[in-house]
Structure 1
Amino acid sequence: MKGSLIIIGFFILGTLCGFFHLIPFDISKSNISFYALCALMFSVGLSVGHDPQTLKNFRSLNPRLIFLPVATILGTVSAAALVSLILPHRSAPDCMAVGAGFGYYSLSSIFITQYKGPELGTIALLSNIMREIITLLCAPLLVRWFGNLAPISAGGATTMDTTLPIITRCSGQQFVVVSIFHGFVTDFSVPFLVTFFCSI
């Protein structure tokens, strides 16, 4: 939760800097966001490759639970497509690109800003931050109403890092490997799905 609030704080700070022209050059016309994206992708690869225990844990996973991230991806993208029906000024691929961030706000918003502009990139940032915050706040209710896998699916790509502690506390220690696997798969799918929907 604290990390999400820090991100929101930096977003508000950036908005104010842009609005009041506190930065002497137009950052939107530079390659800074591309370099930031490359740094993020490097960090993701580094975190996955640095922990060999993660790959060992995947081998002990129940084969049926492999379908959990697939269900999360299909459910999220389908729901985003349905949302486009009540947002006539937004196409289905735009809404699906936002949904395909799966809570990975830093990466997906940069991709969407590159492809579709800062307005949709901002929507993606806020939408995916809200997904993480809702998971952090509502995990106990999700477990009570929908079962132990519900907060894992709700957390999307964040279940291998920021929402893992609350998922472990609410769903149980036995769901740690499931949560990490789910986060890994959805996290890995973000750049491919977001760019795919942005290019339609």
Structure 2
Amino acid sequence: MLDNFLTLFLILTPLVVGFFVPLPKKYVPYIDVCLGKIVFVILFFIGLSLSQVQNLGSQVGFILSNVLLLAVLSMGAGLLSLWWFDKQYPYERQIQHGDNTANISVTGSAVQLGCVVLGMLVGYAVPLQNLPIGIDSVIKGLLMVLILLVGISLSHAGMTLKQVLINKRGVQMSVIFFVSVSLSGVLFALLKSDVGIMQGLAMVSGYGWYSLSGIVITDAYGVVWGSVALFNDLLREFMAVIFIPFLIKRYPSTAVGLGGVTTMDFTLPIIQSSGGNEIVPLAMSFGFIINIISPVLMVVFSSFG
């Protein structure tokens, strides 16, 4: 448990520090570029780490079956609950934005998956046993840099805490999303005899933050379950890229919720282009809250699992 709370400290410290870094606005775009690049590097090293697992090939079926079940439950719970929210409390649009479903790209998600595969291939081809520093240590170091950059990015996102919390619908969405996805984690645990309730809750709390969930869940439950969490969250991003443009016109809260933590970065341009500028504050509020609670929930749940 002490190790898990140390992980929480190592995650939250750079996040908080990032909020107070006095960075001129002209450099903020470079932070976003660095965020994108470092994610690729982390995924490559995660692939290297996976290549060192004994008999990983025999675990592929186990990983894929659990990823499929976890994705259906966690994404399905979020979609159904926010769809109900949209139906019961429709979002009042000020401007009717035209349908823009043509420009759908899954290249980013494919490249991210490719980084994991490339890392695995390099790991199988090159002996890594005599490296001066362990792969896991490198991954944790890169993760701290990533979290620091996320903190800087959030602090320069143009959203104050007051603006986040005053967006009533964004807060309501976050609560509904958290409760429904958490229930899916409990259901996952009930369906899997080898998974405890707290582990189920930890597994679904990545909300699309694959670079973090892969590391935290690996530390807590081993690399096989870490792989399940990683690919589950990668799949969320992949599905968000595809389905947000189709959902956002009639069910904006549902569409935004599908993106999870990515609504503040990777899927935000898709939300803006297909839903209009009026949806952006909602996405920013929801994404901000989910970005803050995700690492806390993963570490706390895994500490008691």
Whether TM-score is above 0.5 comes out as yes
Which residue, 114, 121, 142 being the options, matches 2:247?
A: 142
1:70 aligns with 2:163: no
- Unaligned 5+ segments in structure 1 are none
Q: Aligned ranges for residues 12-161 of structure 1 at < 5 Å?
A: 12-25=117-130, 30-51=136-157, 53-55=158-160, 58=163, 61-143=166-248, 147-161=251-265
Q: Distance in 2 between matches of 1:184 and 1:59?
A: 7
Amino acid at match of 1:37: L
* TM value normalised by structure 1: 0.87
Matched, 1:180 2:284: yes
Partner of 2:300: 196
Percent identity of equivalent pairs: 28
Give the structure with higher Rg (CA).
2
Cα displacement (A) at 1:60: 9.3
How far is 1:21 from its partner? 4.4
Retained in 1: the 8 A contact 2:263–2:283? yes
SS for the counterpart of 1:149 is helix
**Could you say which structure has the greater relative contact order, defined with CA pairs below 8 angstroms and 6 or more residues apart?**
2
8 Å contact 2:240–2:258 — kept in the other structure? yes
**Aligned in 2, Cα 1:59/1:133: closer, same or farther, shift over 3 Å?**
closer
The alpha-carbon distance between structure 1 residues 102 and 46, as it changes in their structure 2 partners (threshold 3 A), is same
Q: 1:59, 1:44 → 2: CA distance?
A: 17
Q: Deviations over 1:95-141 (max 9, x none)?
A: 22121000011112111122222111111110001001111101233
Unaligned runs of 5+ in 2: 1-105
Superposed CA RMSD in Å reads 2.4
Distance 2:300 2:165 in 1: 32
Q: Give distance in 2, aligned partners of 1:28 and 1:67.
A: 43
- Quick one: structure 1 residues 57 and 163, their matched pair in 2 at CA, closer, same or farther if it must change by over 3 Å? farther
Aligned residues: 198
Contact 2:169 2:282 in 1 (8 A): no
CA distance in 2, matches of 1:88, 1:59: 39
Please state whether the residue corresponding to 1:112 is helix, strand or coil: helix
TM-score (norm 2): 0.59
Deviation at 1:61, TM superposition (A): 4.9
Residue 167 of structure 2 contacts residue 285 of structure 2 at CA under 8 Å; is this kept in 1?
A: no
| CA shift digits 1:166-191 (9 cap, x unpaired) | 22233332110110111111011111
Relative distance call for 1:20 and 1:143 in structure 2 (3 A) is same
Give runs of ≥4 in structure 1 deviating > 4 Å. 26-30
Q: Which residue of 1 aligns with 2:274?
A: 170
* Compared CA separation, residues 93 and 168, structure 1 to 2 (3 A): same
